Amino acid sequence: MLCPEAPYTPESCNCQAPAAAEDNRLKVGDGEAGHCISCGAPLEAKHRYCWSCGEPRWKPVPGPVGAPPVRPPPPPDSPTEDPRPRLRALRIFFGAAAIFWLLNLAQGLALVLAPNGRAQLAQQLTQSGVPATSLSETLLLSAALTVLVLLAGAALNAAAFYGLGRRRPLGWVTAVVAAGLWSLVLIGIPVLYLLLRRSTRHACGIE
């Protein structure tokens, strides 16, 4: 006979001796047969306490089924970092660079279109060893190349400014190219570093 109530004392209950504890103990809740988690005595479904040691019946706490694994905390430089201040600073840099190239373009066009400017350029070409027979062609070619270089610099930095504002992958690539060119004069090295940060890349859609 097993005692339905607890705690057990030899004076209050004449119960049979507990059976030997099994190695594989069942840990179940109320309403199911099993064994005591403390001493291993067999328990019936109606037992709320162990008849042998008096410990309360163990109730398993149900856990979430199929719970997702806990992710480790993100590193300091992660996509959760707010990239807006950095993008704002980068846009200011590329906007100022585009204005710089446009000012140089306007100055170059004014020098080429003005008669005094063309005379000054012709004199410089003559001093550099250009023959007088090909002076006009060389002057026209050098002026065209200068205008194209200045226009390309202004367009590249303006595209980087616009692309970073729209957070487009192509804008990020254009900004990296422009920063790489600016790195030739060392000013683009910190800009390139900011562009290659993970949060900046993710903000522009670059994985």
Residue 89 lies in a domain: yes
How many folded domains does the chain comprise? Answer: 2
Task: Tell me the residue range of the domain where 48 lies.
Answer: 1-58
Eight-class DSSP state of 187: T
Domain match, 89 and 191 both: yes
Domain match, 18 and 102 both: no
Burial 162-180 (b: 16+ CB within 10 A, else e): bbbeebbeebbbbbbebbe
Residue 121 lies in a domain: no
**What is the mean pLDDT of the segment spanning 130-139?**
82
pLDDT score at 30:
44
Residue 35 lies in a domain: yes
Domain match, 104 and 44 both: no
Task: Supply the pTM of this predicted model.
Answer: 0.54
Question: Residue type at 44?
Answer: E
Domain match, 32 and 99 both: no
Lowest mean pLDDT among 129-133, 155-159, 181-185: 129-133
